[in-house]
Chain A
Amino acid sequence: MSHVADFLTPSDLQRIGNLQVFARQVVEGFCSGLHRSPHKGFSVEFKQHRPYVPGDEIRHIDWRVFGRSDRYYIREYEEETNLRATLILDRSGSMGYGANTSKFEYATKLAACLSYLMLQQADSVGMVTFDTEIRRYIPPRSRVSHLKVLVDELENGKTGGETELGNVFHDLVPKLHRRGLLVILSDCFGDVATFLKAMAHFRHAHHEILVFQIWDRDELDFPFKGWTQFECLERAGIKHMLDPVLLRQAYLENLEKFRDELTRGCRRHKIDLVPFCTDQPYAEALAAYLSRRLALK
């Protein structure tokens, strides 16, 4: 059984904890269009029955079930919030890049951080992991204990396979039958147009979207020197031998173009595109982003 402390250091938790108050405001702010009065609409929703155990309050026993089955069952209710957040975590091969901390590790920490933060606020948090297809879907729950489920999934996650953001996201739309907040943690590599189409699909389903784009510094600066063989993380057998110094300029231009297209597309769809680099402390980077959101609010 994994524990959240495996992902988040005490100082990270402290830092996120400090952010709790304004983070909640921010999160609430995001979802302000979802419910007209988030606090008034607070209610309970039947979730499941479970056997009575000593210590449970007598008033929670479902007497109708007792009448039919002659057994004590406790009627469990799920608290309904105004926020249903789904963390969509890319575990494709390209996310495995990184010397000390891979992009995937970084993304998992961010995901853990967000999960903790939102569950602390009693919001529902769900998670989807994918590479070429959806690998796991954990529906949003608001219980604190749900964090363990999420953390377990984060810990067990491994990278591999190609990125197919467009198709995966299109497949995901029907599963997310209730509108909510989608937080995509990915490097967004692949065809920008397909990605943006998928984003448009999400937006059409009235989802709010946050894209946390994860970069490694090498991908941003391309600092390699000397003859280098580049081997593809996603497709085995793809190799390129070259002198990177001669390509650096062109690579950086191409990178700029890619990021421009992505940024413009996200702006068009009113999506926050938040780049993170694995050499930044994730807690600080997250805090900085949230602070900025707060300032804009």
Chain B
Amino acid sequence: MTFLNIALLGGVLALAIPIIIHLFHKSRFKIVVWGAMHLLEAVIRQNQRRIQMEQWILLAIRCAIPLLLALLMARPLWKGAAKLLGDTKTSTIILLDNSYSMEVARAGTSNWSLARDEAVRIVSELKQGSEVAVGLMGEGGAGLLDTPTYDTGRVLKALQKAEASSGAANVPASLDFAANTFDQMHESVRQLIVLTDFQRVSFSAQEDSLLSQMIARLKKSAAPPSVTLFDIGPEVRENVAVESLDFSRLMVGVGQKVQIRANLRNFGDQRWPDLRVNFRVDGKDKGAAQIKLGPREKGQVLFTHVFDTAGSHVVEVSADADPLKADNTFLASMQVRDRVPVLLVDGEPNKEPLKSETAFAEIALQPFAAGRVELADLINPRVVAPEALNQQMLAESAVVILANVRKLNDNQLRFVEEFVRNGGGLLIFPGAKIDTSWYQSALHRDGKGLLPLAYAQLAGDAKPGATPASVVSQRFENPALELFNDPRNGSMADAAVRLWFKTKDAPAGSGEPSVVLARLDSGDPLFAEKKFGEGRVIACSTALDADWSNLPMRPFYLPLLQRLTVYLASTIYPPRNLDSGKPIAAFLPAADVDKKATLTTPGGDAIELKIVRKGSLGVAEFTRTQRPGLYTLTPPGGSPIHYVVNANRRESDTSKLTDQEITDLAKSHGVLLVRSSAEYKEHEQKRRFGTELWKPLLWALLIFFIAEMVLEQLFAGVRRKPTSLQPQMAR
């Protein structure tokens, strides 16, 4: 207990006043020479003890009144446990929600600027010598500075420069950051302040269990921090977002018509009768459309475009809608190809027409060239013998098809694995010549190798008249096969597979799992896919040529091979369509190592990136991609590569938890909730300086005043009617 006006505490001496008044009155008594003493004496005899008690009570109350008044004026502070921890240096972590929902503008400001200002105020009001760290929730709790610091000035400068990110608030990750950062901090008094808009998507039920775990972890730490949730700003629900873009083609070639479907969603209650949607390619307007969006409705707009040139292009669809700009535009970086180099490794070459293992496939992959038609084939196959396969060939190819290859040597296998790991596509077809033991031991490696299917033994019967297996009709989920969900594009069900490899399951938990894309009616997989590094591998259980099946004779053979190849070639690695905060990377020729690539940011800044060696390649990397938009990387002497960063659409639904839900959340996790700067200050004041007791004291004073008046009246007795002097008549 301390006092803000200690001098006024001297007023407690005023408690002597009632005693003095009491004694003074007692000494200045009146004398009444009384006749009716027999009436009075009986009363005195019976009530002496009661009167003494009442007098003591009244005197005590009268003494308490000046005592309370003096205490009240001295402004006492109750510090309790805070006395020990109060105005001391602290280790403080501020988790600042900089997800883009915080940028919702209202009345000339935004939740983001409010939160930032609040963070600045909190940091600047910290006790000198306190240690601070700031985590940005929109970037998964990444620190504003690399490490906690005692230099609050530095933190304030960084906060002034901080911007809202385009990512979604990741509350558990941010709390994880806080827990890890507290481990590096030194002061024993710790506090964690979370400044957030309590967006519903960030505090969903799924997040809640993680949140509980993280808060429990914080509380179990050696010096558990006090956790304060700071509710910044009211809900602003009006928001229209371009959620995604869908392309009609997996891969776009020069001169090919591609349809781009923009998916829009209205998250608010406002009606948009004629929302204008703009379509741009490489920054040039290529069209616009109007769409009607009712409250909470979704809508789609379709644009068509033909790319004239190969290379990296940027497609942009924007809706001219609400003030939350970050999700009004969706960008997509597209690699338009003039050809897709495919390497066909033929395990059974034959110079006779259509006799080699890859003959049908070669035709299927470049039908126009085979048909001597004056049209451009997108896919450009090259057939090589297994022995000729080398690293250079792989580097020049987007997809490699192994057809009935007996086995590869170790170097070849290593090169192929590196090729796939770096984003290349591999298509594997077995045949009569393959070395199944090598396929199992080297290529499958119990699920850890490239091969998605562990070829075991042959099944079926190649003799004429034997019943072949057919492909089970099903809905295909894989983009390569989903074309066949529409019967107009051909049906795989009329294929007859006479021989195929049975497969065995890989041991559980070994490597990336395989996914079966299509099955035979025997129950055996026909196609299976697995991810390997950044690339993908698809394996078939029957041969590529017509020896084991009639696949090459079926109309779907051509689109099937084309789709599988394009699908495998469509992986662009490193990726160019990124979420906010994900790094930009480009693989460049080893010759460019130590040279500099130029990166142009959405703000127009040109940043030079040093190309460093990574394996056999040069790599240019850039990590500060919080800001959504177009990043253009220009390698030395090369064509520009476009990278786009889109704001995380999870944040587009700006609906907030209700006040009750927020209160319950805070209560269930046993943390403090504040809703305004004033409220925070009040709690902080209490924490640091204790609770001012003037309010309860004032109440006590009033109660004592009233009690004094009431008791005096009560002890003196109620007012009586004047004594009646009616005579008593004998008759």
Contact = CB atoms under 8 A, between A and B. Distances in A.
Given A246-B55, A292-B727, A228 B33 contact: no
A227 B29 contact: yes
Nearest to B30: A228
B722 A246 contact: no
A293 B729 contact: yes
3 shortest interchain CB distances as A-B pairs: A249-B717, A97-B35, A94-B35
Interface string B291-324: 0000000000000000000000000000000000
Interface in B33-54: 33-44, 46-47, 51, 54
Q: Which of A235, A247, A273, A289 has the most CB atoms of chain B within a 10 A radius of its CB?
A: A247
B31 A227 contact: no
A49 interface: no
Contacts of A255: 36, 39, 723
A247 B37 contact: no
Nearest to A266: B728
B699 interface: no
Contacts of A275: 725-727
B720 interface: yes
Contacts of B726: 275
Contact of B725 (A95, A250, A277, A293): A277
6 contacts: A227-B29, A240-B44, A243-B51, A245-B716, A255-B36, A292-B727
A226 B22 CA distance: 10
A189 B35 contact: yes
Given A249-B717, A272-B730, A292-B727, A224 B35 contact: no
Given A94-B36, A230-B34, A249-B718, A270 B730 contact: yes
A250 B43 contact: yes
Nearest to B38: A189
A248 interface: yes
B715 interface: yes
Nearest to B726: A275
A65 interface: no
Interface of B: 25-26, 28-44, 46-47, 51, 54-55, 712, 715-718, 720, 722-723, 725-731
A234 B35 contact: yes
Nearest to A227: B29
Contacts, number: 140
A250 B723 contact: no
Contacts of B32: 218, 224, 228-231
A275 B29 CA distance: 31
A96 interface: yes
Contacts of A193: none
A48 B259 CA distance: 159
Contact of A271 (B29, B720, B722, B730): B730
B680 to A, nearest CB: 53
B59 to A, nearest CB: 11
A97 B30 contact: no
Contacts of B725: 215, 220, 275-277, 280
Contact of B33 (A97, A190, A272, A289): A97
Interface in A271-289: 271-277, 280, 289
A131 interface: no
Given A226-B25, A272-B727, A250 B46 contact: yes
A49 B26 CA distance: 68
Contacts of A20: none
Contact of A247 (B31, B44, B722, B730): B44
A219 interface: yes
A290 to B, nearest CB: 11
Interface string A170-198: 00000000000000000101100000000
A296 B51 contact: no
A230 B54 contact: no
Contact of B39 (A229, A242, A249, A251): A251
A229 B35 contact: no
A170 B573 CA distance: 135
Contact of B29 (A238, A241, A254): A241
Size class of the A contact interface (CB-based, 8 Å): 35 or more
A221 interface: yes
A77 interface: no
A207 interface: no
A189 B43 CA distance: 15
B447 to A, nearest CB: 99
A93 B35 contact: yes
A121 interface: no
Given A226-B25, A249-B716, A250-B46, A232 B37 contact: yes
Given A231-B31, A249-B717, A254-B42, A274 B730 contact: no
Contacts of A235: 37
A226 B30 contact: yes
Contacts of B722: 220-221
A263 interface: yes
B725 to A, nearest CB: 4
Contacts of A251: 39-40, 43
B44 A190 contact: no
Interface in A160-176: none
Contact of B34 (A103, A232, A246, A276): A232
Contacts of A289: 727
Given A228-B29, A249-B716, A187 B731 contact: no
Contacts of A96: 35
Contacts of B730: 266-267, 270-272
A226 B29 contact: yes
A215 to B, nearest CB: 7
Contacts of B36: 94, 97, 187, 189, 219, 255
B25 A227 contact: yes
A122 interface: no
Contacts of A274: 727-728
A182 B47 CA distance: 38
A276 B727 CA distance: 9
Contacts of A226: 25, 28-30
Contacts of A21: none
A99 to B, nearest CB: 10
A60 B37 CA distance: 57
Contacts of A93: 35
Contacts of A273: 727-728
B39 A95 contact: no
A272 B729 contact: yes
A105 interface: no
A43 to B, nearest CB: 29
A255 B718 CA distance: 16
Nearest to B715: A246
A62 B729 CA distance: 48
A281 B35 CA distance: 21
A215 B36 CA distance: 10
B497 to A, nearest CB: 114
A252 interface: yes
B47 A250 contact: yes
A295 to B, nearest CB: 10
Given A189-B35, A219-B36, A246 B51 contact: yes
Nearest to A215: B725
A22 interface: no
Given A221-B722, A271-B730, A240 B35 contact: no
A215 B715 CA distance: 26
Contacts of B717: 248-250, 252
Nearest to B41: A240
Contacts of B716: 245-246, 248-249
B35 A233 contact: yes
A246 B54 contact: yes
Nearest to B26: A227
A31 B33 CA distance: 40
B41 to A, nearest CB: 7
A227 B25 CA distance: 6
A293 B725 CA distance: 15
A224 B43 CA distance: 15
A258 interface: yes
